[in-house]
């Protein structure tokens, strides 16, 4: 199913204000020990499933009328020398909520700073196919890193299969 990219962009703009970055968001504990955050907005659904604590990895899939159309896969960790990883993830959520640019594929803004913490995000590609890396620094020391990749899915079907 070929997706209307304008509609997907409008949906992503709304959806990025919620999900993981919200305090108190409902997380479903799965039998495989992962956690899932699910949201539904009309014909659109989001399924963000991840494994973690520390380190963590997961994938977010967006569905339109119950068909997958977009996904992102991610993996990240806090440096072992930094003991309070909960503070790092609290700052990461803060950076996600502070996102100002209308660039939809990346997880957070290009740059965000609060106190001794700095978030940086390098990104390439577009909505069809993208990748990036985000890092958090405490002062000048890198204490967190995550990589992500994603784009549109299920846009063509095999004629014989």
Q: Residue 78 — pLDDT band, cuts 50, 70, 90?
A: very high
Domain ranges of the chain: 5-152
Give a three-class secondary structure readout of 107-126: CCCCEEEECCEEEEEEEEEE
CB 120 within 8 A of CB 109: no
Q: What is the distance between the alpha carbons of residues 150 and 26, in angstroms, rounded to a whole number?
A: 24
Helix, strand, or coil here: 2?
coil
Q: What is the mean pLDDT of the chain?
A: 85
Rounded to two decimals, what is the model's pTM?
0.85
Residue 45 clears pLDDT 70, i.e. is over it:
yes
């Amino acid at each position: 199913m070929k997706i209307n990219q304008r509609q997907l962009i409008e949906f992503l703009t709304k959806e990025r204000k919620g999900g993981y970055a919200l305090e108190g968001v409902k997380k479903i504990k799965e039998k495989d020990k992962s956690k899932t955050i699910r949201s539904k907005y009309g014909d659109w659904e989001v399924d963000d499933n991840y494994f973690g604590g520390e380190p963590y990895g997961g994938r977010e899939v967006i569905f339109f009328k119950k068909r997958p159309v977009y996904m992102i896969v991610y993996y990240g960790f806090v440096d072992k020398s930094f003991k309070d990883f909960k503070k790092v993830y609290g700052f990461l959520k803060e950076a996600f909520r502070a996102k100002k640019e209308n660039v939809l594929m990346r997880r957070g803004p290009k740059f965000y700073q609060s106190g001794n913490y700095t978030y940086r995000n390098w990104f390439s590609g577009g909505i069809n196919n993208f990748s990036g890396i985000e890092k958090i620094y405490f002062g000048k020391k890198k204490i967190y890193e995550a990589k992500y990749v994603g784009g549109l899915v299920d846009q063509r079907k095999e004629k014989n299969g």
